[in-house]
């Protein structure tokens, strides 16, 4: 911990860490590196998405089965899509590894923009305590700890989608295509309601207050940086997990949903109206989910009536 004092101590540290001189230069370098890594992650994610013949998500997969059937996949797309969509007949370490790798790249693309304020604060304090030459490695270790959380989430997501794939394969095509919109609608409703919970707001406040958080939880050394990054990743997970369930339902490599969720994450964590934005997003998700569920039920009811005639 850097200081146990109140506002005066925090104000003193804020004065010391103002981006002037060498610190301003280091901030620009760090932002440039972050921009390059984020752009590269987006490019690789977009490439992976275009290489995959089968959409990866409960709804996207069901829709693809109606039009195209269970098509085969090639190259890089085969490994990642197999992991993401779930193998009906079994699983493999290769598919799990490919999925986790693709997921980690996707998380870097989506989460790094919202991570920037926290990362700049960590780096600024490291520069003050270690100098410019010794600050970059602890900052990188902090990022590694952060990504470690989301990598573990990727493995859990792979297992979840794999299990859902096995469950879906036991029904006929008509049954699968009738309940998949209900899954998306229900997921949107749950994700929207979570936006109003106390846990969401506590985690969001943590992510929106990088300086205070780092002041209260600073740990020295590389192990300390890893611990801080992991802890921040847990808070970020508490803030965003419900949003990512929508991505799993709609399609894990859906670029449209990825861009939308990235914009939501950045708005919530960095903009002055972020707390209000989270509630607006929650309202929109709940209304959209209800609309999808109602429409899906109407379609199912219409099919049943038509079959009875």
129-163 pLDDT tens trace: 777 777 889 999 999 999 999 999 999 988 887 77
Residue 11 counted as domain residue: no
Structural domain boundaries, residue 152: 19-308
Assess if residue 13 is contained within a domain. Answer: no
Q: Could you write out the three-class secondary structure of 2-58?
A: CCCCCHHHHHHHHHHCCCCHHHHHHHHHHHHHHHHHHHHHHHHHHHHHHHCCCCCCH
How many other CB atoms are there within 10 angstroms of residue 261's CB atom? Answer: 21
For helices 274-308 and 198-208, angle between their N-to-C axes, nearest 10 degrees? 140
Which value, in Å, is the radius of gyration of the alpha carbons in the chain?
22
For residues 261 and 242, is the Cβ–Cβ distance under 8 A? no
Please state the φ and ψ torsions of residue 90, each to the nearest 5 degrees: 165, -175
Determine, yes or no, domain membership for 4. no
Distance CA 309, CA 75 (A): 48
Q: What pLDDT score does 73 carry?
A: 33
296: Cβ–Cβ under 8 A, 6 or more apart, which residues? 178, 181, 182, 185
Q: Is 144 inside a domain boundary?
A: yes
Q: Within the chain, which residues score under 50 in pLDDT?
A: 4-6, 8-9, 54-55, 60, 62-89
Please report whether residue 290 resides in a domain: yes
Residue 9 lies in a domain: no
Name the pTM for this structure: 0.79
172 in a structural domain: yes
Position 170 scores a pLDDT of: 61
Residue 232 counted as domain residue: yes
- Number of structural domains (the chain) is 1
């Amino acid at each position: 911990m850097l200081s146990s004092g109140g506002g005066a101590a925090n104000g003193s540290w804020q004065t010391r860490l103002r981006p002037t001189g060498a610190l301003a230069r280091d901030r620009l370098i760090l932002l440039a590196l972050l921009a390059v890594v984020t752009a590269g992650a987006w490019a690789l994610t977009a490439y992976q998405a275009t290489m995959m013949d089968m959409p990866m998500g409960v709804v996207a997969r069901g829709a693809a089965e109606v039009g195209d059937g269970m098509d085969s996949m090639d190259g890089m797309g085969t490994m990642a899509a197999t992991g993401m969509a779930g193998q009906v007949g079994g699983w493999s370490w290769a598919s799990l590894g490919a999925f986790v790798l693709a997921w980690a790249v996707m998380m870097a693309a989506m989460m790094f923009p919202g991570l920037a304020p926290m990362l700049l604060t960590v780096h600024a304090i490291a520069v003050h305590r270690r100098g410019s030459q010794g600050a970059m490695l602890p900052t990188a270790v902090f990022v590694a700890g952060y990504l470690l959380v989301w990598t573990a989430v990727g493995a859990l997501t792979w297992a979840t989608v794999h299990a859902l794939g096995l469950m879906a394969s036991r029904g006929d095509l008509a049954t699968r295509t009738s309940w998949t919109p209900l899954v998306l609608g229900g997921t949107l409703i749950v994700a929207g309601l979570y936006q109003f919970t106390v846990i969401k707001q506590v985690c969001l406040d943590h992510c929106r207050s990088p300086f205070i958080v780092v002041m209260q939880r600073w740990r020295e050394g590389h192990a300390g940086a890893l611990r801080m990054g992991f802890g921040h990743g847990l808070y970020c997970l508490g803030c965003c997990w419900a949003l990512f369930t929508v991505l799993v339902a709609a399609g894990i490599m859906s670029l449209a949903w990825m861009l939308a969720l990235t914009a939501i994450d950045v708005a919530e964590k960095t903009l002055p109206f972020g707390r209000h934005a989270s509630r607006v997003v929650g309202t929109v998700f709940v209304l959209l989910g209800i609309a999808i569920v109602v429409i899906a039920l109407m379609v199912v009811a219409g099919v049943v009536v038509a079959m009875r005639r």
